[in-house]
A and B are shown apart, each in its own frame.
Chain A
């Protein structure tokens, strides 16, 4: 079993839909990261959080430390949101070293 599990693996939505991607982890962490990988391959960090909730534009990330679970929400989805979304954690004793989930492929159709 991977230390970081994401669901779903693939997600197809219609433009305007509210989207949720889930991440569960099995180790104690110091922080959880959400990353976006564009169709061209580039990787961008979206959020780094260790508690509560963060919001940036139409993106919202939440984390529940007790349940070892995080969600990434996209409101009013748009075709340009189509990408792979990756969850990663830095363990309590691993410093900045990240363990990654396998990613969720999101496709938003017009």
Chain B
């Protein structure tokens, strides 16, 4: 099992550009999450999903959108990238409220 995979690993965007961060899990987990980690700060929840077709906002959802059309995939869309979105993004999954398994992260820089 690959676990949770994320692409790309690194990306540089210009202000105003858009992109999608991909996240896939092969553990048949129903819950999936997107977090961002800023230097010296704790992880913060952006969006989460408790199953295909269901998504909900976390602590810092502004500037992001998600969709969950399948159990496996949970892409995160950035529209009109801003420097404040420079961060490391982690996707995670869990079976209901159990242990969360994290992907390797995507390092995003917006210039």
Contact = CB atoms under 8 A, between A and B. Distances in A.
Interface of A: 2, 4, 30-31, 33, 35, 41-45, 48, 86, 88, 90, 95-103
Task: Give the bracket for the number of chain B residues in contact with chain A.
Answer: 20 to 34
Contacts of A96: 31, 33, 48, 50, 94, 96-97, 100
Contacts of A95: 50, 97
Mostly, the A contact residues are: strand
Contact of B45 (A43, A97, A101): A97
B88 interface: yes
9 contacts: A35-B102, A41-B88, A45-B100, A45-B101, A95-B97, A97-B48, A98-B43, A100-B42, A100-B43
Interface in B19-46: 31, 33, 40-45
Give the 8 A-B residue pairs with the shortest CB-CB distance, closest first. A100-B42, A43-B102, A96-B97, A100-B43, A102-B42, A45-B99, A48-B99, A41-B105
Contacts of B40: 102
Contacts of A98: 43, 45, 100
B74 interface: no
Given A86-B43, A96-B48, A97-B58, A44 B102 contact: yes
A41 B90 CA distance: 10
Contacts of A42: 102, 104-105
Interface string B67-97: 0000000000000000000001010101011
A41 B100 contact: no
Interface in B40-68: 40-45, 48, 50, 58
A33 B96 CA distance: 15
A40 to B, nearest CB: 8
B48 to A, nearest CB: 6
